[in-house]
Amino acid sequence: MDTNYKHIKVIGFDADDTLWVNETYFRDAELEFAKLMAPYETANKIDQELFKKEMDNLPLYGYGVKGFVLSMVEMAIELSNNMVSNATISEILDIGKSMLNKPVELLDGVEDTLNVLSENYRLILITKGDLLDQERKLEKSNLTSYFHHIEVLSDKQESNYAKLLEHLDIEPSEFLMVGNSLKSDILPLVNINAKAIHVPFHTTWLHEQVNTEETEQKKYRTISSLSDLKSILD
C-alpha cells in the first residue's frame, strides 16, 4: 500500500457523503415512495424497479435529486398502470422538494480538517450531480472559502478527472483525492496515477458499489474519519 504523500500539492475532496450527509436522504425518500406505491406492489419490488428506472434515466437526467424525482414519477405511472392519482404525484414532488430543502449537515471533523490542510495544500472540491443543487449545498455549508477551485462534473470517470487536472495544471503524481465512493472517488484516480484516500460512509448507493475484484491490487488507503487526514499528511 502506497502511503507516501510527500509530493502531494493539491487535495481534491468529494462533497456528498464525504463533507456532508446526502445518501441518507435518498434512502428515506425511497421508503416514502414505497409507502405511496404500496397499493400496487411490494416494497422490495418497488425498490428494484425504481433503481432500474434510475439507471435507464441516468444518460438523460444525470445524477441528483431532480432526476431521482422524475424517475419516481415515471415509476409511479408504470407501477399503477396509469392509475396513479394527481394527489400521489403531488406527494412525490413534495418528497423531492423536501430533499432539496434539507439542511446541510457536515460530517464530523470536516471544517477543522479543511482549515488545517488549507494552510499547506491547495484544496479543490470535485463533485457530481445537479449544478444548482450542489451550489446550494456548498453555500449552506459555509466551506466555500477553503477551496481554490470548485468543479461540478456530470460524471466521475478517469477521463473527467484527467481533463480537469490538465485544465488546472496539476500533475497526477502531486494530486490526492479524498472521497467516500470507491467507484467514483478512488479507483479512477488510482488508474491515472494519482493518490486516493477512501473515507467510507455508512450507506452507499447500489450504483456506486464495487466488487473485490475491482479493488484488487489497487493502491489506496482507507480511513474511518476525515479527521485522520491531518495526522496522515502531517
Summarised one tens digit per residue, pLDDT across range 42-93 is 999 999 999 999 999 999 998 999 999 999 999 999 999 999 999 999 999 9
Instruction: Decide: 161 and 189 in contact? Cβ < 8 Å.
Output: yes
What average pLDDT does range 1-22 have in this prediction?
89
Q: How far apart are CA 51 and CA 119, in angstroms?
A: 42
Q: How far apart are CA 220 and CA 234, in angstroms?
A: 18
The pLDDT score that the predictor gives to residue 157 is 92
Q: What is the pLDDT of residue 214?
A: 72
pLDDT band at residue 209 using 50, 70 and 90 as cut-offs: confident
pLDDT surpasses 70 at 207 = no
| pLDDT of residue 1 exceeding 50 | no
Q: What is the pLDDT of residue 129?
A: 86
According to the model, what pLDDT value does residue 212 have?
76
Residue 125 C-alpha cell reads as 472540491
Q: Where are the domains of the chain?
A: 10-21+104-232, 23-100
At 216 the pLDDT is 74
Q: Out of 1.10.150.240, 3.20.80.10, 3.40.50.970, 3.40.50.1100, select the CATH number for domain 23-100.
A: 1.10.150.240
Residue 147 pLDDT exceeds 50 = yes
Query: What integer best gives the mean pLDDT of the chain?
Result: 93
- Mean pLDDT for 24-37 is 96
| Superfamily covering domain 10-21+104-232 | HAD superfamily/HAD-like (3.40.50.1000)
Q: Alpha carbon 219 to chain centroid distance? A: 21
Instruction: For residue 119, count other CB atoms closer than 10 A to its CB.
Output: 6
pLDDT tier, 211 (very low <50, low <70, confident <90, very high otherwise): confident
Q: How much is the pLDDT for 2?
A: 47
Query: How high is the pLDDT of residue 3?
Result: 66
